Chain A
């Protein structure tokens, strides 16, 4: 390569024979929306009766502000270190290898857990409502029974296992194919979400009548009986927007909205280093938040806010063998089997890609550990045929099956069990982002992340905005009794994972040192991809 000064404008001195990254911005947005998993609205709305006075819409909006700020911190780190492997890469190179590994280990543990648990969610919130509602509408007992079966432990395990193996296999065959399937699935799921919102709008303006449709299925007066049942339990049914409950409810939309940040697991492959991840992470958060707010707002107006709270009140009876989920309500409102299938797709098609984001994050982290020597070197093995991290993916599949079995057959874990661990990891990234522009001034200044507002680094501003949300979430996971994020076993597992991560790193570093390998040297360099 010549180093002479160019004599013609627009002639460059650096090599022009490099690689073209393959993941476009649109694929990144799709990935982010899938990782956020709008389908979680099914159980997020069902949690409402536990927070009397909470506004889901305002809670989602406030959470979105903090989530976007966190997303900016992540995206800017990815612009500084455009390499695959997640937080592990930039925390190990900027804070300390131990911190990078422990956060990565802890995140990977919980992603493996949710890789399995999302398989169960596919059965509980996707297949079971679909078949049960179809069975009711078509008066087909076999379909109803099938729907019921998918909500049994065995049904959850069988359907969940099938999904874990299917998604694990898809990721094993390579990310090119995965993104192609994601584009198809994502487009259909988005169409289904918009159709569901449209149905709710029609219900809101009175074109469709939920009460009438519900009574025609459950019997005359059934709608009012649901409200009376909740009132008998002294459930607050009136809608009010109180700050305290609204803030407390943030734990639910946060469990969904924060997770598009995990696309940093393949930062090395996303086009447009400067803006690709920023658009991907923040764009997917904003799109998802708008969909979530629209689903809730029009959903509760279509079915009746008081009825929605009454139907979700624990112990109250619907008068139908159905769970109080938004997709069921949309199907009842449409009162048509074909529409039931169409409005189920935003749950049935989105949850599998949530599994995908789980296994992609975890396998890339394990793969990066293998390359750095903090895991057995086989963790860095790549399939000869598909060029994918085969051992890392297999490890995630095995871990997911164990997690799925525990979730399905024991009462030990609950939906939010991992939120504490995730929030702690996000907080560490946030605090690092707060200090990074000053701590690693040269690296920051010479990177695409050197964006300043009023002279203050955007990364620092974003970290300042996101930190209170994360601190609040961590506090709420300790005190919120709903769905068991604060159960002793959840907290114990979170602590054990951290301790195990520290022991693993220190142990393997000592082991390598005995054999003359200095693991720490790896962290002075940026990984290849």
Chain B
């Protein structure tokens, strides 16, 4: 069974070439996104002509519940996004689903924390993104807590996977919460969850 949901990150300047490429492949642009581009949405969505395959292309940034800026990361990526950026893409989700939790388990159970390689969870990158954004950090910590609870409650997960996931989720939570924070972070933290700390994400609909 082919992948049904494929995500890409690309430079904004290549938008036209990307659209042409998917056009040649006979993918149809999603009208909901096409008509919103003028309002500043930096994202393209294409649908396969016959299979239920959806392709998301994030241009420069992933702007969903929280924002991840890829502009400086793109030159460092060879064929895929780094595991740290994949992790961030999951940790930013405000309304996390079971499928997202499964993805988080897959990332946490199979990748060490520390170091800056493409296949290890890079704490410097996490620090760079999360210490400037209280809302993102709050959501990320909540999701790390949820993945730990979920994996503990799920009997189908092999014990070694469960143990690795829980340990790394706790390790990341400790690291994230212990980093020194800037003034902006502390001011926003004082307001807390009384003010919405995430962007509302709409469903993409096709009629």
Task: List residues of A (495-529) whose CB comes within 8 Å of B's CBs.
Answer: 525-529
Among B71-79, B123-131, B149-157, B167-175, the one that faces the other chain is B149-157
In the complex, the answer to whether B36 meets A7 with C-beta atoms within 8 Å is no
A136 within 8 A of B: no
A386 within 8 A of B: yes
**For this complex, into which size category does the number of interface residues on chain A fall?**
35 or more
User: Do B34 and A19 touch across chains, with their CB atoms under 8 A apart?
Assistant: no
Q: Assuming the A-B contacts A11-B146, A15-B203, are A382 and B35 also in contact, with contact meaning beta carbons closer than 8 angstroms in the complex? A: yes
Greatest chain B CB density within 10 A among A17, A268, A269, A386 is at A17
> Which one, B37-45, B108-116, B158-166, B186-194, is touching chain A?
B37-45
Interface size on B, residues (CB 8 A): 43
The smallest beta-carbon distance between A274 and chain B, in angstroms, is 9
Question: Inter-chain contact count A-B, CB under 8 Å?
Answer: 123
A18 interface hit (Cβ, 8 Å): yes
Q: Are B97 and A2 in contact (CB under 8 A)?
A: yes
Given contacts A8-B146, A22-B39, A22-B41, contact A14 B34 (CB under 8 A): no
Among A4, A19, A269, point to the contact of B98 (Cβ < 8 A): A4
Instruction: Tell me, in angstroms, the Cα distance from A386 to B34 when the chains sit together.
Output: 11
Once A10-B96, A19-B32, A269-B36 are accepted as A-B contacts, the answer to whether A527 and B203 lie under 8 Å apart by CB is no
- Grouping DSSP codes into helix (H, G, I), strand (E, B) and loop, the B interface class, with mixed when no group exceeds half, is mixed
The answer to whether B40 and A176 have CB atoms under 8 Å apart is yes
* B97 & A8 in contact (Cβ 8 Å cutoff): no
Q: Given A11-B96, A11-B97, A272-B200, A22 and B149 touching (CB < 8 A)?
A: no
B38, A18: Cβ atoms closer than 8 Å: no
Do B41 and A16 touch across chains, with their CB atoms under 8 A apart? Answer: no
Q: B201 touching A16 by the CB < 8 A rule?
A: yes
Q: Is A441 an interface residue (CB 8 A)?
A: no
Q: Provide the B56-74 mask, 1 if CB < 8 A to any CB of A, else 0.
A: 1000000111000000000
Q: Taking A7-B154, A10-B142, A525-B207 as contacts, is the C-beta distance between A15 and B40 under 8 angstroms?
A: no
Which residues of B in the span 1-16 have a Cβ within 8 Å of any Cβ on A? 5, 16
Known: A14-B203, A387-B34, A528-B31. A1 touches B97 (CB 8 A): yes
Q: Do residues A1 and B99 form an inter-chain contact, with CB atoms below 8 A? A: yes
Q: List 19 A-B contacts (CB under 8 A).
A: A11-B96, A12-B96, A13-B97, A16-B96, A16-B201, A17-B64, A18-B201, A18-B203, A19-B32, A19-B201, A20-B41, A269-B36, A271-B200, A273-B200, A382-B34, A387-B34, A387-B35, A529-B35, A529-B36
